Structure 1
Amino acid sequence: MHMDNLKIYGFRANIDSVGDVLSQINEIKKDEEIIQLMDADAIASKNHVVHGVNHAVAAFDRGENIAKDLGVEVLLRCSAQRQISKAFKILGLSEGDMNLCAVLINCDDDYVEELESLFTRDDDVLDGDEDKLKEIYAITDIEAENMSVENIIIDRISKLIVDY
C-alpha cells in the first residue's frame, strides 16, 4: 500500500448527526483516498498522528493489519488499541461540539476547502492537553515523570506491533 501524501488538519465542529457527517465525507473522497476524522482531544500532536499513520500503513504492507480499512487501522494505531470498539471510544466522533483531527491520505489539495465548508479550521486543536490525554490513555503520573505524554502514546503505538 503506498501513501503519496499525508495531510493532517484540525477543525472545530458542531455535529448534529455522526452518520450524516460520515456520509458527507464519503461523498467527497474517491476510492484510493482516505479521509479519517478523529476526536482531536485524544490527539497529542501531529507527530502522534504521523506515527500512527506510518504504523497503520506498515501493518497493511506486512499483512498484519487488524482492520480491513486503512482509515480504521489509522484510528486503531493512533489510539494505541487492538480493539476497534475501544479505538472508536477514544477517537470516534460524537454529537455536539467537538474538536476534530482530519487525516487525509492520497487526497487532492482542494479537499481541505470541502472540509472547511463543513467545519471551522483550527489547527490549535491538535495541541494536546496533557491532563485530558493522561485521563483518556490512563497514563499514570509515575509514567509521565520520565517521558512526555506524547512520547508515552507514541511508545504505546510502537509496542502494538510487537505484541502480536
Structure 2
Amino acid sequence: MDNIQIFGFKATINSVGETLDLIDGFKKDGGIIQLLNADAVVSRNHIIHGVNQAFLAFERGENLAKDISVEIVLRCSAQRQISKAFKILGLAEGEMNLCAVLINSDDHLDDLSEIFTPDDSVLMADEDKIKKIYGIDDDVMPLEDLIIDRITRLTVDY
C-alpha cells in the first residue's frame, strides 16, 4: 500500500446509500476511498495504523471481512463485529464530520471537495466524545496509544 491520504470534511448526508454510490463512482482507478465518522477518529496515526492492519490482515489471510473497505472500518474501530464497527465509524444521515481516507487515489480530493466542505479541523479529537464512543473510562495511557493498542490486539488475539 503506497499512498494513504487523510482529509477532514463537514457534510450533510441526505442518504447514506446515495452518498456511497456517488463515492463508488469516483473509484474507477482501483484506488480506495473510505469515509469514516471523524468524531470517532483520534488521530491520523490511528487511521494509518488501522488501514495498515487491514491490509496486513488480508495479506496473512486473517481478514475478518471479505471487502478491504469493510476491513478498514473494522480495524480502525478496533472491533470484530461489522455492525459495531459501522455504529462507531459509519456514516449517518444528517450533519456529520467526515474523515476521508484515500488510498492510491490521489486525484479524488477535488471530487470530494465538490460534494463536501473541506475542514481538517474535524480531525481534532474531542477526548470526551472519543472516550464515550469507545467505552474508555480510564486514563492509563494517551487515547491514541490506547486505540492503536486495541487495533493491534485484534490481530494478536485472533
Q: Note whether the superposition's TM-score is higher than 0.5.
A: yes
Asked whether 1:155 is paired with 2:149, we answer: yes
Q: CA deviation at 1:126?
A: 1.0
Query: What residue number does 1:11 align with?
Result: 9
Query: What residue number does 1:127 align with?
Result: 124
Asked whether 1:62 is paired with 2:56, we answer: no
- Alpha-carbon displacement from aligned partner over 1:139-160 (angstroms, at most 9, x marks no partner): 012xx1x211111111100100
User: Percent of aligned positions with the same letter in both sequences?
Assistant: 63
Query: What residue number does 2:49 align with?
Result: 51
Q: CA deviation at 1:13?
A: 0.2
Q: CA deviation at 1:4?
A: 2.1
Structure 1 runs (4+) deviating above 2 angstroms are none
Rounded Cα–Cα distance in structure 2 between residues aligned with 1:112 and 1:31: 14
Q: CA deviation at 1:42?
A: 0.3
Q: How many residues align?
A: 158
TM-score if structure 2 supplies the norm length? 0.97
Alignment map for 1:13-162 (pairs within 5 Å): 13-30=11-28, 32-107=30-105, 109-141=106-138, 144=139, 146-162=140-156
Q: Which amino acid aligns with 2:62?
A: E
1:125–1:75 CA distance, 2 compared to 1 (3 A): same
Rounded Cα–Cα distance in structure 2 between residues aligned with 1:32 and 1:70: 12
Q: CA deviation at 1:31?
A: 5.8
TM-score if structure 1 supplies the norm length? 0.94
How well do the aligned residues superpose, as a CA RMSD in angstroms?
A: 0.9
Flag structure 1 segments of 5+ consecutive residues without an equivalent.
none
- Alpha-carbon displacement from aligned partner over 1:79-107 (angstroms, at most 9, x marks no partner): 00001111000000000000000111111
Rounded Cα–Cα distance in structure 2 between residues aligned with 1:128 and 1:67: 27
Q: Which amino acid aligns with 1:155?
A: D
Q: CA deviation at 1:127?
A: 1.3
What SS does the corresponding residue of 1:110 show, helix, strand or coil?
helix
